[in-house]
Structure 1
Amino acid sequence: MKQPRVIAVDWSGRKGPEQRRAIWLAEAVDGRLTRLECGRTRDRLVDSLIAEAQRDPDLIVGIDFAFSLPAWYLRERGYDARRLWAALAGERLTPRMRRVGLARWINEPEPPFWTSAKPPALTPEQEFRRTELESRSSGARPKSVFQLVGAGQVGRGSLYGMQALHRLSGAGFHVWPFDPAGMPVVVEIFPRLLTGPVSKSSPNARRRYLSDVPMLPEFRECAAESADAFDAAISALAMAGAVDEQAALTTEPEYTLEGKIWRPGTKR
């Protein structure tokens, strides 16, 4: 029986042409890496994923951004995850965003989002989703999706990513853990949970790590040269080792507001 294809995307919240260098796609088929490439903007990447699913719906996609916001924020505004994605797709999450659009708003947002100092009223308990707090037990150090500035921040990419989820869901993708099992499916990944301990900022450390990973020499060189390519490649291979598990993923009621980071061994 044919196994589903796996695509892992190292996403980015960068603007303009910088997206083409920062967004990487890796594909694995039958446990082997078959593609590792950049060159797309966010919109073109989503176009490509939709086209891939139309060509062959037996497809599992992992993307590294937060699929939702902390529950308290959504409850205060009467949102579920899909209404959140739709609000971001329409650039109307907040009053100011309605006036100026997401691209301008993201540089001067209303609290609890921040680009300079964290709002004093935002408590530590409010900063994170449950799944992000759970990831700490594996040694991860997640950043709050409300943080829109600084090294390693995921907020900008996540807000643009939720716009992408609105499109992918509308095109027929099942989004875990919000939807019942089905193909094609898209899951949230956190590359740090899939790569394990490695100093990803060091090309030498990446080369040492990759020396034990079976892949074509050109893919190994590419992943050694770029931390973004490294994350996409290793994430795709980790996902490819658990395709049966991912194909069976279904709704998890306790996570359908905030979302959940997938990792090998997730049971439902």
Structure 2
Amino acid sequence: MRRFSHFTCVDWSGAKTERPGGIALATIGPDGPPALLSANPRWSRENVRDWLLKLALEKQDMLIGFDLSMALPFHDVGSYFPEWEASPSHATDLWQLVDTLSAVDPYLNVLSFLDHPEATRHFRHSRDHVGDLFIGGTGRLRVVEQHQRETRQANSASCFNLVGAAQVGKSSLTGMRMLHQLNGAIPVWPFDPIPDRGPMIVEIYTTIAALAAGLPKGKSKIRDRDGLEAALNALQTPLPAMLSRYDDHSTDALITAAWLKNASTDMRLWHPPMLTDEIAQKEGWTFGIF
């Protein structure tokens, strides 16, 4: 089993702006507390992409968790986009499609993709704008998302829903652009084999880390130092130096980096029983769900 020495959580954002306030990076090494990684004035999605490319060149021994879905549902209806002839058959081709159709959008946005006459049919864009092929209720779910709900390990939302504070569609689609632009520089689990050395990316869900840290379901956001200390204590991790601001993006990243360090040694999480090769290549999997 590969052992990593450093661990990073990227709390991602799909906001339209160049430098969304929702992006936060935290890293933890073999010893000591987790620490926030800063960018001036704030992280942009391109900054994160370029930081990853630098890690790849330096062969950094790091496991990096991204809080986003790395593919759309496929297995529920046998296609990402039914009735669209250009619908791809594998996740990496999906990343390319999203990136190509959004090539004119700045900041790794996906406005052009979502406006495409075929793509737009599958998404709930607003209360008054719902694509004719959007499946009602919660929207379509990947196998791992269905499994999360059935086993009550998590309660993730559909990427086809772009409405509400809990929506993850825009962040996931912008993340797919970023993954395509990495061009294979960093392996991504479970789409790629685990490398013998260098960095690797996994999909994570910060709520899983929060639950492991003892936070109750539905109340997993921390916005003060005392709450952060209690969560890190539960993960047997020291408290970092005083933060300038205790927003939930920063605390999510710090807690999840600490959790990822602990979880990375759990063999069950690398080999979940329901993860087949077919699911791995088309839909991926959330690290931490077994």
Normalising by structure 1, what TM-score?
0.81
Give the Cα separation in 2 of the matches to 1:91 and 1:34: 37
SS for the counterpart of 1:7 is strand
1:1-268 alignment to 2 at 5 Å?
3-19=4-20, 21-30=21-30, 32-38=32-38, 39-71=42-74, 72=77, 73-74=79-80, 76=82, 77-91=87-101, 102-106=110-114, 110-117=120-127, 118-119=130-131, 121=133, 122-123=135-136, 127-136=140-149, 137-168=151-182, 170-182=183-195, 183-196=198-211, 197-198=215-216, 199-201=219-221, 203=223, 207-211=226-230, 213=232, 214-218=237-241, 221=243, 225-245=246-266, 249=270, 252-255=276-279, 256-263=281-288, 266=290
Q: 2: distance between equivalents of 1:31 and 1:90? A: 42
Q: Structure 1 regions of 5+ residues with no counterpart?
A: none
Contact 2:7/2:261, CA 8 A, preserved across alignment: yes
2:29 is matched by which residue type in structure 1?
A: V
Equivalent AA in structure 2 for residue 133 of structure 1: Q
Query: What are the Cα deviations for residues 94-139 of structure 1, in whole angstroms up to 9, with x where unaligned?
Result: xxx9xxx833554786121121245465155961111111112235
For the residue of structure 2 that corresponds to 1:111, the secondary structure is: helix
The DSSP-based 3-state class of the residue aligned with 1:74 is: coil
Name stretches of at least 5 consecutive residues in structure 2 with no aligned partner: none
Larger deviation, residues 22-31 vs 111-120: 111-120
Percent identity between the two aligned chains: 26
C-alpha change, 1:52 and 1:230, in structure 2 (3 Å) is same
Query: Quick one: distance in 2 between partners of 1:11 and 1:177?
Result: 19
Secondary structure of residue in 1 paired with 2:162? coil
Distance (whole Å) between structure 1 residues aligned to residue 80 and residue 121 of structure 2: 14
- Count residues in correspondence: 253
Structure 1 residues 146 and 249: CA distance shift in structure 2, 3 A: same
Segment drifting more, 9-18 vs 58-67: 9-18
Q: Give the CA deviation at 1:172.
A: 2.2
Which is helix-richer, 1 or 2?
Answer: 1
